[in-house]
Amino acid sequence: MSRWPVTGVGAVASIGSDPDEIFAGLCAGRSGLGTLRGFDRSWYNADRLYEVDDRPAPGVDVTGRATALLLDAVGQALRDAGREEDLSSVPVLIGTGLRELRSLELWWRDGQPFDSAGMHFGTALRRRFGADDTHTISNACSASLYALALGTDLLELGDADTVVVAGVDVITESMFGLSDRLQLDPPDRLRPFDRERKGTVMGEGAAAVVLQREATGRDAHGFVRGVAVNCDAYHATAPDPEGIARAVTDAHHRAGVKPQDVDLVMVHGTGTPLNDAAEATALAEVFGEHVGSPLMTGIKSMTGHTSGASGLLSLIVALHAMREGRVPPLTGLGEAAPETDGFRLVRDEAAASEVTLAQIDAFGFGGINAVALVEAAR
């Protein structure tokens, strides 16, 4: 089975400006949840989000924030990989839910200057890094792992020696407004797998990795063993446990592993009644008698749901957990949902554990499912 080295990582989220700071914050149980910064709070029921604090002032929003976060994460990953900031002839694959829709909102309603070329991340990537082969995949919450699947395919086929895979999203007012109207009693925070979970809370962030065809274990953060994607088209919003289970099983097959080989599952864990139940049901089906073997945790209780960036952000956290021998906890978990009976949920505080193989889940609206397996650099 192929193993693709991850030689560089970069990330920014509400709880940190680079992967090390984010991982430390997660292990400490630090939440990025804060008072709404970019929108008029008087218009909405909810007033709490997991935002990156990069605006000039509370209530003052600016265009280009998604692009800025993306460039930051990609630049970090290139420096971490020891590469020059020159991406000419290197495929750059970006997963996102909404691209620069927030900038379009600010242009249309508030008259802020914004060029239509800025809607495509390739414009800024070309200017900053000389990137001339960019592809944007808009596949909702699984977008960055879909991009990862394409990246590993390019390496497998010999169409590239190096690829950069990234994910990014910022909160748009239209999406926030839609969710606000659906959640008349908004959740106070995001509580994955909790019996009393009330819904998701959106977050912002970007993540990027450099993948190469060849690198020694000493030079890599870890290895991507396999990525599986499917679209079951079961329902526009309600997930199908069977579709999720097929994606998990396919990922195991592609990686050449069995459920009992997995040490850690980074759950999608959106904190919504339907999504958490479907994911837990699928995991119980696939892992069967071994469902109590891997540790299970997730990051959205502290970062919020970062949409297109979420899968790759969880992957970077899994690589850090392997390197440091620590697994961050699920915070805000009071009484676990009955669907998780038998799961080894990491609760309250970080757990010391040796992790050699981790599974990362990412599932989006419309049954767009993606699962990745990563292996430690040992």
- Helix 143-156 vs helix 310-324: angle between axes, to the nearest 10 degrees? 70
In-domain check, residue 142: yes
Give me the tens of pLDDT residue by residue for the chain, a chain 378 residues long. 689 999 999 999 999 999 999 999 999 999 999 999 988 888 898 989 999 999 988 888 999 999 999 999 999 999 999 999 999 999 999 999 999 999 999 999 999 999 999 999 999 999 999 999 999 999 999 999 999 999 999 999 999 999 999 999 999 999 999 888 877 788 888 999 999 999 999 999 999 999 999 876 568 999 999 999 999 998 888 889 999 999 999 999 999 999 999 999 999 999 999 999 999 999 999 999 999 999 999 999 999 999 999 999 999 999 999 999 999 999 989 999 999 999 999 998 999 999 999 999 999 988 999 999 999 997
Same domain, 227 and 207: no
- Together in a domain, 79 and 166: yes
**Judgement on whether residues 61 and 166 belong to the same structural domain of the protein:** yes
Residues 343 and 230 in one domain: yes
For residue 194, tell me if it sits in a domain.
yes
Residues 207 and 258 in one domain: no
200 in a structural domain:
yes
| 135/262 same-domain check | no
**Which domain-ending residue is among 180, 212, 244?**
212
Question: Are residues 205 and 228 part of one domain?
Answer: no
The domain boundary, picked from 181, 212, 243, lies at: 212
Residue 208 lies in a domain: yes
Give the C-alpha distances (Å, rounded to integers) separating 283 from 208, 248, 258, 343: 27, 8, 13, 9
| DSSP conformation letters of 229-297 | EEE----SSS--HHHHHHHHHHHHHHHT--GGG--EEE------HHHHHHHHHHHHHHHGGGTTSSEEE
Q: What is the number of structural domains in the chain? A: 2
The pLDDT assigned to 236 comes to 81
Query: What is the pLDDT at residue 41?
Result: 86
Cα–Cα distance, 70 to 47 (Å, whole number): 25
Q: Is 186 in the same domain as 48? A: yes
pLDDT for residue 182: 79
Do 19 and 77 lie in one domain? The reply is yes
Query: For residue 334, what is the domain's CATH number?
Result: 3.40.47.10
Domain boundary among the residues 174, 190, 212 is at 212
> For the chain, how far is it from start to end, CA to CA, in angstroms?
16
Same domain, 341 and 286: yes
For residue 214, what pLDDT is reported? Answer: 86
The vertex-205 CA angle with 354 and 180, nearest 5°, equals 115
pLDDT of residue 181: 85
Cβ neighbours for 181, distance < 8 A, ≥ 6 positions apart: none
**Closest among 281, 271, 276, 268 to 372, alpha carbons compared:** 268
Q: Quote helix, strand, coil % in the chain, to nearest 5.
A: 40, 25, 40
In a domain, 172, yes or no: yes
Name the residue range of residue 320's domain: 222-376
Are 311 and 148 within 8 A, CB to CB?
Answer: yes
Residue with tokens 């390197």: 323
Is 217 domain-assigned?
no
Angle at 80 between CA 77 and CA 81, to 5 degrees: 85
Same structural domain, 255 and 363: yes
Looking at the structure, do residues 73 and 191 belong to the same domain, yes or no?
yes
